[in-house]
Amino acid sequence: MNKKLCIGVLTSGGDAPGMNAAIRAVTRTAIYNGIEVKGIMRGYKGLVFNEIIPFKTENVSNIIQRGGTILKTARCDEFRTPEGRKTAYDNMVAAGINALVVIGGDGSMTGAYQFAREFDVPIAAMPGTIDNDLYGTDTTIGYDTALNTIMDAVDKIRDTATSHERLFFIEVMGRSAGFLALNGAIASGAEAAIIPEMYTEADQLDELISNGMRKSKNSSIVLVAESELTGGAMGLAKRVQEEYPQYDVRVSILGHLQRGGSPTASDRILASRMGEAAVNALLDGQRNVMIGIQNGNLVNVPFSKAIRDDKPIDRSLMNMVKILSI
């Protein structure tokens, strides 16, 4: 049965540190089990435009320490159409691929789920996204590295914030999830985190000011998720200038800096464990599952739950930020 299996592996969506470690683990676990592996370039676009190449163990040598993805990633509007997905399936079959491993975020999972339902393709996926916003897994590949990058950047910004006695709004990624902002604030000792999960419950900026921000400090740092719901760092800075002109405000947007860099040991280990588990899941006859990690244990999460259920934020951590910022 193993010799009949041919796995195609692709990375899709935003790149995340640790994706290469995941590709390496998938490739070598498959080869160890006598399974043929093919790399699909540029995500789903590579399926549609037939960018498929055989992968051997040497293809993944010396990549575990590299950020980004050697398979590249790209948007593919064609894959959003039934005709595009049919072309992708035909190319996959012509290449001899009969199972897929997909590494990516929410959009990648959604595409995999739809593709699997339409063409009955066995797919095992891994959560590769710095946002850490996929349900069913405690953490995602790339999240720990991004968090450490944010912490390092905030540590440096704090030096100038303290020197000039300024209020800094630092914008981090997280369009619909505040995990980076919240845990980045805890790790860097920031005074507050403004996240999209709280936007309907309170005016977070007004609450921040009214709670006496900076009464006992000569500078403050606030981490802000980039979401439209929060207003972003620029929107909040504009509000402060209009409503609280006594504050000297500055903005720093970390942007794609957060996605790059060599993955941490934690992300390399997580990606390696998940890559092996993805291949084993396919060998065991599993299909349409995301490999997650819960309390240190690897689990198989159905696509339907991973993409349809919202991952909750730990509200107690918001209160902890407030307590530790006094």
Examine the pLDDT at 259 and tell me if it is beyond 70. Answer: yes
The β-bridge relationship of strands 289-294 and 297-302 is antiparallel
Residue indicated by tokens 């066995």: 122
Structural domains of the chain ordered from first start: 2-142+263-308 (3.40.50.450), 145-259 (3.40.50.460)
> What six digits make up the tokens of 131?
């946002």
Examine the pLDDT at 174 and tell me if it is beyond 90. Answer: no
pLDDT attached to residue 322: 85
pLDDT attached to residue 210: 67
Which whole number is the average pLDDT over 169-190?
Answer: 94
Share of the chain above pLDDT 90, in %: 76
Please work out, in degrees rounded to the nearest 5, the angle formed at the alpha carbon of residue 20 by the alpha carbons of 35 and 270. Answer: 90
**Bridge partners of 53?**
39
Q: What is the DSSP string of 198-257?
A: GTTT--HHHHHHHTTTTSS-S-EEEEEE--TTTTHHHHHHHHHHHH-TTS-EEEEE-GGG
Active site residue 203: no
Alpha carbon distance 138, 153 (integer Å): 24
Residue indicated by tokens 């676990």: 29
pLDDT attached to residue 211: 64
Quickly state the pLDDT bin for 152 (edges 50, 70, 90).
very high
Rg (CA), the chain: 22
The overall average pLDDT reported for the chain is 92
Which whole number is the average pLDDT over 69-90?
Answer: 96
pLDDT attached to residue 44: 98
Examine the pLDDT at 1 and tell me if it is beyond 50. Answer: no
- Bigger pLDDT: 87 or 163? 87
pLDDT attached to residue 201: 65
- Bigger pLDDT: 310 or 56? 56
Alpha carbon distance 248, 267 (integer Å): 38
Residue 31: partners with Cβ closer than 8 Å, 6 or more residues away: 37, 56, 57
Active-site residue, from 15, 106, 131, 267: 131
Examine the pLDDT at 81 and tell me if it is beyond 80. Answer: yes
Alpha carbon distance 270, 172 (integer Å): 23
Closest CA to 122 of 297, 21, 4: 4
Q: What is the pTM of this model?
A: 0.94
pLDDT attached to residue 114: 96
Which whole number is the average pLDDT over 47-73?
Answer: 97
- Bigger pLDDT: 201 or 60? 60
Quickly state the pLDDT bin for 162 (edges 50, 70, 90).
confident
pLDDT attached to residue 128: 97
pLDDT attached to residue 182: 96
Specify whether the backbone of 307 is left (phi greater than 0), alpha (psi in -120 to 50) or beta. alpha
CA distances from 237 to 162, 210, 224, 260 (A): 18, 16, 11, 27
> What six digits make up the tokens of 238?
């504009």
- Residue-wise pLDDT for 212-244, tens only, equals 554 555 568 999 999 888 889 999 899 888 888
pLDDT attached to residue 166: 80
Q: Burial code of 47-83, b = ≥16 C-beta within 10 A, e = fewer?
A: bbbebbeebeeebbeebbebbbbebbbeebebbeeee
- Residue-wise pLDDT for 102-147, tens only, equals 999 999 999 999 999 999 999 999 999 999 999 999 999 999 999 9
52 phi/psi in degrees, rounded to 5: -125, 130
